[in-house]
Amino acid sequence: MDYQNLQIQHQDGIAIVTISREKALNALNAQTIQELRHFFGTDAPQQAELLGVVLTGAGEKAFVAGADITEFKDLSAAEGAALAQRGQEVFFLIERFPKPVVAAVNGFALGGGCELAMACHLRVAGEKARFGQPEVNLGLIPGYGGTQRLIQYVGKTKAMELLMTADIIGANEAHQLGLVNTVVPLGAEIETAIGLIKKIATKAPLAIAKIIETVNTYFEPGSAGFVKEVDAFGECCNTVDFREGAAAFLEKRAPNFKGN
């Protein structure tokens, strides 16, 4: 795919994906959503040596300042529902991606931008980052998973407050609430995100994929998380990596995982 709104660089086996619509504060338009779908659904899964993905926004003002309102201000109910459905499908691709996806939040993460960050597995926030779901100011609600994922990270009581007041919170408060993993100085977001992925890359790749799968199961309605954990544990036991990890532990050496 010829990406127009995504800039993709590779560094030490890590894909750094930058949403590049700086003049629009990296707002999510239909083209950007489609490009994210193609990257996480087609391109990235074919990259066997990929260790993980850092997702960020161009410039210092915004990670993603929201969805592109100009594209949906005149939608019917059916068209609006279809728009939300497409966004949720793409964000599920990110959430379920079997390798770590880390959001490097370098500014405003509002509306769809906050939802995008929450779909990633981990979040690194620059000290000037700002988070919020201000959709009620427009007479809307979050449509890309915000009403569901925000509860997962900050709990129902605080999620209700943030969703209904449209308050925007800073990086430190987001960290205290559990919305982000760490807060770093401005400009250190990508480097820190890369460091997290490199640390995770020293672990068994199949086990990491199973961690992502089983943790996500906890939040899927009707899913039996404990059953999924039992099955995933058994599958890990039957891997070369487990035998290597056990041998390395007993031999007091670093393991050499191969991903099989």
Catalytic residue positions, numbered:
115, 135
Residue 192: partners with Cβ closer than 8 Å, 6 or more residues away: 104, 124, 182, 184
**Do residues 103 and 123 touch, judged by C-beta distance below 8 A?**
yes
Which helix (H) or strand (E) segment holds residue 110: the answer is: strand 108-110
Q: The tokens of 130 are what?
A: 């700002």
Least Cα distance to 147 among 137, 130, 135 occurs for 135
For the record, the structure tokens of 205 come out as: 């790749």
**Of 192, 33, 31, 22, whose CA–CA distance to 105 is shortest?**
192
What dihedral angle (degrees, nearest 10) is formed by the CA atoms of 111, 114, 116, 122?
-170
Cα(124)–Cα(224) distance, integer angstroms: 30
